[in-house]
Structure formats: C-alpha cells, structure tokens
Structure 1
Amino acid sequence: MDETQKALADRLFPAVKPPEELELRNIPPEQRRLHTETADLTVSSIYQYLANGKLKIPEFQRGYVWTRMQASRLLESLIIQCPIPVVYFSQDTNNDLMVIDGNQRLLSIKLFMNDAFQLEGLTTYPELNGQSWSTLDPRFRDHILNRTLRCITILRDTHPQIKFDVFERLNTGSVQLNSQELRHGINFGYLIEQLDELTKNEKWKKAVGIRVDKRMKGAELVLRFFALRYSRANYTKPLSSFLDQFSSTHKAAAPATVTVWSEDFTSTVDRAEHALGKLTFRLFEEDLNTVTAFNSALYDAEMIAFSETNNQIIIDKRYDPIELRSKIAILLKDERFSNSIKRATSDETSVAYRISTFKNFLDGYTNGI
C-alpha cells in the first residue's frame, strides 16, 4: 500500500481504542448473580415516592426531552390500559430507589399530575385534548392513579460491578451514558456531589483544559485523584473498574472525610499550578514550551506527588518555579518515565512507576542543585 495514502487514511480514520472491559471474571462466581425484586406499583404510589424523595431520578440521567405529544400519548395509554414498558430501579444502601430506566415516562406522569401541561395529540380520546390534570374528570384521574406499572428493582446486595454491568445493558438511549455518568447513578451520594463541586475550581479547570463539561469528564478526573490518593495499594487495571469500586466503596463516606479529601484536592491544585503554571499536566521541552495538551497519566503523577510530598521547600513554595520547571523538563525526557505516561498507561507497573518517580523527584528537590 502506498505509504502516503496510508498516512492520510490514518489521519482521517484513526483507530478507535476499544473501551476497557469490565473485569467481571474477577468477581467470585457466587457473587455474579443479579438480585432483583419485581412489583406492580400504582401510578399513585410512584408519584408519592417521587414527591417524598423515596424514588429519585439522578442527575446523570439526560434531561426531560419528551415532547408534550409524547407525554400526552403516554397518559392516553394509561387511560386505555395499553401495556407500558417495564421501569427499572436501583436500591441504595439506605433503601432509597434510583430510576435507571424509565425516567422520561415517570417525569411525564409527575409533570402532568403537577398541572405542568395539557393533553394534546390524542388519537383514541381526542375529546380529552386541552385537559390538564386539575380539569380532567375525577373518574379519569382515579383510573390513571390506579393503573399499575411493572417495576424491577436491582437490590442493594447485588455486587456493585454486576449492577454496573446491568446498568450498561439497560443504557440503550440515543446517547449512551459514559462510565462516570453511570457511576453518578449507581453510587450517588455525598462523595459524588463533592466531585461535581470540585470541578468548579477555576485553576483546575484551566489546567485540565475543560471549558464546557457536558459528560462529567471533570468529575471522573477528580475521582481518579481521590482513588489513587487514598486507595492506590488496591489498584488493578482496568482503571475504569478501579474507579467503579472506589466510588461504590466510598459512596456513603462520612462528610467529614470527604471534606478532608476535598481540602487536599484544592491545596494540591494550588501547589501544582504555582509550580508549573500553564505547563501543569502537560509535556513540555527544556525551553518550557508545551508539546502536548492535557495528559491524564501525567495528571496522576503530578497530583499525587504534589499532594504527598514531604519536601517543605515544595510545601512552603520556597523555590524558583522556573528552575523547578527546567528540572521537571529533564525528568519528562527520561525514557522510562516518558513511556509510563504514554504507553500502556493503565498497567499497574506504569501507574506505580510514574507516581513514585515524580514523588521522589519532588521529595529530593533542593534549590539550586
């Protein structure tokens, strides 16, 4: 094949790296079973659960996108007793339920019962077009309230990774949810809320190059720091499964603990930004010009090292940033370190090496030497 043609094709149609596979085979066989409970809940019961917070639609779910006509046709289906697709819930540790499939249907019902819209586009009962919940004949309202929906709940004693796998199988919408969006749904709690809050840090946003984050990439990077900072000894690839496990284990972490972690994150970002400025989390040459945009593997090394260093010179910022950057540029040229942030970056040896090497560099740094 002509090399020029091949080079052009490689640029126009680059190979897409497949997503990391869930390591379900690492789970003991007896823990791979899915524990579920099936119930037929009345519309009235579901509405009450949504109203009192017993049933939640987590933030990761795509916003309400149904048209008024789609929502109206759903209500008409309830009236004529047309079967409605199964709704799936996930049970949390405190027995609360999260909607993992069916949020558009449930939100449509809730909105109509809150008088948020009038029926339109009905074909079986066009006489009801223009009616809201409050103007609907009480007999129709009672009929809707007494209709039942088949609900399948994935119980809390299901292994988190199995629950995550099922979550992905149900994720069949036009826009597939990514790993972090799924984690937000399965493991929603104080830790997940703090991830979202920390992504608003302006220094950090500038360093990682995130301007508009619609798919929770920032939250995943914050989670990545927490997981490697506080559970690095348990790291095994793939990274995605490691993050799943960490967020599951710590979803109910005490607010005081998460607050300490958050303060650590904020101070670490400040240290890294002071030391490297616009070069933070980027590869650069000895002339201090960047050669790449944000590098997530280098992010691991720098964040953990600046967080864990015991060098008081670094902690107190008693150094010349330009001199420090020049020394870091030399480290970035080291072949083994360079490989650890460019190739097979999720391998256990690569993760351990790049973090320990950068930390050792900071720990041993001395002004003017």
Structure 2
Amino acid sequence: MDDLEELNVSDNENVLTQEEREDLEAADETVIPITYSGQDFDVDGLVRRLDNGDMIIPRFGLSDRTVEVDGFQREFVWSKRQMDRFIETLLLEYPVPGIFLVKQQSDKRLLVLDGQQRLLTLQSFKKGVYNKRVFELKNVCEQFRGLSYEKLSDAQRRAFDNAFIQATVVNMDENPESREAVYQIFERLNSGGTQLTAHEIRVAIFTGSLVQELSILNDNEHWRSIYGPKNRRLRDHELILRIIALYLNAQNYAAPLKSFLNRFMSENRGSGENIRAAEKMFEWSVERMDNDCLIRVLKSNNPRVSTAVMESFIVSVMHLRKAGRDCSVDTLFPAAEKLMSSETYVNSCAESTTNEGKVRARLQEAWNVINDYSSQS
C-alpha cells in the first residue's frame, strides 16, 4: 500500500509526479494544424504594448473577463542575475531567443504563450524598478555595471529600445480544435526549468465558466479538510475536474488522461445544468466524507490520500447519492476498510493510474463495495 501515489507527492511542489510526467509525454490522439506568422517587435514597442494592455501575460484566476486565457504562466522565476544578463545581451546587440504569442480574435490583443520572463524583465528595466528597488545592472561586464535605464547613454538607449525580438504569432479562434492546437504547442514548449503540468496548461487554453466553478469547489471547506492545504500546482483543482469528468463520462474514458480532460473541458467550457448538478453532488459527497476516521482509513498509513483512491471513492459516493442510497459514515467507513484491504483495488490505484483498465477497475470495485454496504444499511 506504500506504493499508492499521494495527492501531494513531494514536499517540493515543483517536481512533477510520475503520473504528470507520463501524461505530458503521452502521444496526442490527433495533431491539429494551426495558422501562425512571424513578426519582429522592437523592445520599445513590446514594453509599450505591455503597459497599454495590448499584450498581456495571463495568469490563473485573472479577473479580467475579456481575456480568453486564464493562466498558463507561472509566477516570475528569473533571478536578478538572469535579468541582468538578458539586458546586457541586448545592450551588446547580440541575438536573443524569440517569443510565442497568441492573437485573441475577439479584441486582437496578444497573449504571451512563451516569453514571460524576458518580457517582464524588459518592462521592469525600462520602468527602472524591480522588487521595489532601483533596477541597476550588477551581474554584467564593467561597461554596463551600475547602469539603470535612466543612466544609459543615448547610444545605449537606442541599442536597447530598438533591439528587435522575433515573435511567432499563433492565431486562436473560438473553436475547440484551435484551442487544442494551442494546447499542443504550449506542451511542446514546456520544457526545462519548472515545467507546467498538463492541468496548468489546460486551465489556460480551455478557460470559461467551468474553470471558475472548479475554483469555487476547490475552496469548499469540507474538500479542504479532506485534501489539505491548497496546491500551488493546481493538483487539487485538477482532481476535482477528474472526479466530475469521470462521474459524468467514465464510460468514454480513454488514455491519455490529458486528452480525456481536454475534451471534457472543451465540451463544457460554459458549464451547464449537468455540470452544476454534478458539482452539487460533489459538495454533498465531500461533506459526508469529512470524517477523520474515514480519511485515516483511506490514507492507509500514508501522509495523504492517493489521487486514484480519492477519485474513485468520491465518484462512487456521488453515484450512490444520485441513486438515493444511504451515504452515512456508518456505510462509508466499513466500505473504505474493505477497499483498502483489497489487493486488487490497491493495485489499481498504484502506478500507471491513468491506464484505462486500472481506471475502470477501481471505479467498478469502489462502486461495488460502497453500494454493497449501502444495501446492508
């Protein structure tokens, strides 16, 4: 049972779980063509667009409802040394890597798909402030050391402002295929440093009412009591999506998990009655499961409940509620004990947990056991 994959696998949340790595590396079901173009921007123009809001760096939970993408960018992670070296590269008039942008068709704004660190560095240097301090170059060659934007000579300022950065501009329409294509592009760009998870990309590309409703569910006091502190990598947010998607559509589950969840998000971006009904079932179920003794059994001597256990158990409780059956702790506790002592069930919750056979096996066994104990009540 120690092999069960935990909800928060590592104390270092930046480390991808085995399941997340497998999901990202899985081949896409279909490859979707896109339209894109190359465009050169000077630094002065890039910063002006950022300042004016014509180019934006979206983040998860962004309140601006006119932005079609909610947040695939992580927080700024470059060190001051990296920022200094990038500015120095421009002042030396050396070439720099290009950026990727998505053109939002509704208002023609440009969303930053890749290049956040570079763009925010440019903006901070030109503004003259970083981390509430004057942005002066330190980790650079002698001729630039101690310079801020205001201290640049006319020639240096021209070299900086007029430096060109190449951009690939991807056109994203409102149709699901276009969004899936952008997802696939970002996934391929997502390498090195702190990689985004499939879900961190997903909530950006398939934004809509469903993403916001999942965020509200993620704040549910009973869910927080069961799961624990919020996960900065949105693993708790993704688990709720998995539960809702499998509750409504388990019969159509097919690996890889990322494609299954992408389809579900795409088809239900605007939510709907069936989604809201499922959300109510989720809230009802986690309220009934918010019991220390029950959760202790489901943890099975591990610090946290595994993703696969939580997913299958809650989906089964939701179906039991829908059927109007008994879902009291007196029913759920012995059912949890039997499940966690079942070698077949535990194996279906350990390693390669998104395999079709394992997903179906654990959902079926969880339902059979919980339903059986409910019938005895």
Same fold (TM over 0.5): yes
Separation in 1 of the partners of 2:56 and 2:335? 54
Please say if 1:230 is aligned against 2:248: yes
* Aligned residue runs from structure 1 range 32-71, under 5 A: 32-51=32-51, 52=53, 54-59=55-60, 60-71=72-83
Report the counterpart of residue 271 of structure 1 in structure 2.
288
Separation in 1 of the partners of 2:353 and 2:191? 30
The Cα offsets for residues 142-188 of structure 1, whole Å up to 9 and x where unpaired, read as 65444331001233266555544432332233333332233344445
Report the counterpart of residue 119 of structure 2 in structure 1.
106
Report which stretch shifted further, 177-186 or 339-348.
339-348
2:356 is aligned, of 342, 348, 351, to: 348
1:182 is aligned, of 198, 201, 211, to: 201
The answer (yes or no) to whether the contact 1:77–1:83 under 8 Å persists in 2 is yes
Separation in 2 of the partners of 1:360 and 1:263? 23
Letter in 1 for 2:201: L
Report which stretch shifted further, 235-244 or 355-364.
355-364
Report the counterpart of residue 167 of structure 2 in structure 1.
151
The secondary structure found in structure 2 opposite 1:280 is helix
Q: CA deviation at 1:366?
A: 5.1
Normalising by structure 2, what TM-score?
0.71
The secondary structure found in structure 1 opposite 2:166 is strand
The answer (yes or no) to whether the contact 2:298–2:340 under 8 Å persists in 1 is yes
Q: CA deviation at 1:65?
A: 3.3
Q: CA deviation at 1:107?
A: 0.5
Separation in 2 of the partners of 1:323 and 1:253? 36
Quick one: structure 1 residues 258 and 131, their matched pair in 2 at CA, closer, same or farther if it must change by over 3 Å?
farther
Q: CA deviation at 1:259?
A: 6.4
The answer (yes or no) to whether the contact 2:297–2:337 under 8 Å persists in 1 is no
The answer (yes or no) to whether the contact 1:56–1:98 under 8 Å persists in 2 is yes
Separation in 2 of the partners of 1:221 and 1:118? 41
Letter in 2 for 1:351: V
Separation in 1 of the partners of 2:289 and 2:105? 37
The answer (yes or no) to whether the contact 2:39–2:167 under 8 Å persists in 1 is yes
The answer (yes or no) to whether the contact 1:90–1:100 under 8 Å persists in 2 is yes
Letter in 2 for 1:294: V
Report the counterpart of residue 330 of structure 2 in structure 1.
322
The answer (yes or no) to whether the contact 1:281–1:302 under 8 Å persists in 2 is no
Report which stretch shifted further, 226-235 or 108-117.
226-235
Please say if 1:119 is aligned against 2:136: yes
1:89 is aligned, of 98, 101, 125, to: 101
Report the counterpart of residue 300 of structure 1 in structure 2.
311
The secondary structure found in structure 1 opposite 2:172 is coil
Q: CA deviation at 1:84?
A: 1.8
Quick one: structure 1 residues 330 and 38, their matched pair in 2 at CA, closer, same or farther if it must change by over 3 Å?
same
Higher relative contact order (CA 8 A, sep 6+): 2
Report the counterpart of residue 170 of structure 1 in structure 2.
189
Report the counterpart of residue 23 of structure 1 in structure 2.
27
Quick one: structure 1 residues 49 and 311, their matched pair in 2 at CA, closer, same or farther if it must change by over 3 Å?
same
The secondary structure found in structure 1 opposite 2:259 is helix
The secondary structure found in structure 2 opposite 1:129 is coil
Separation in 2 of the partners of 1:343 and 1:64? 33
Normalising by structure 1, what TM-score?
0.72
The answer (yes or no) to whether the contact 1:310–1:363 under 8 Å persists in 2 is no
List runs of 5+ in structure 2 lacking aligned partners: 1-17, 61-71
Q: CA deviation at 1:37?
A: 1.8
1:75 is aligned, of 87, 91, 94, to: 87
The answer (yes or no) to whether the contact 1:332–1:338 under 8 Å persists in 2 is yes
Matched length: 335
* Aligned residue runs from structure 1 range 252-263, under 5 A: 252-253=269-270, 262-263=279-280
Quick one: structure 1 residues 364 and 323, their matched pair in 2 at CA, closer, same or farther if it must change by over 3 Å?
closer
Letter in 2 for 1:214: R
Separation in 2 of the partners of 1:312 and 1:144? 68
Letter in 2 for 1:295: S
Q: CA deviation at 1:332?
A: 5.1
Report the counterpart of residue 12 of structure 2 in structure 1.
none
Letter in 2 for 1:77: T
Separation in 2 of the partners of 1:345 and 1:131? 52
Percent identity (aligned): 24
The Cα offsets for residues 221-253 of structure 1, whole Å up to 9 and x where unpaired, read as 122123223333431012233223333444x42
Larger radius of gyration: 1
Separation in 2 of the partners of 1:267 and 1:227? 17
Quick one: structure 1 residues 340 and 254, their matched pair in 2 at CA, closer, same or farther if it must change by over 3 Å?
closer
The secondary structure found in structure 2 opposite 1:19 is helix
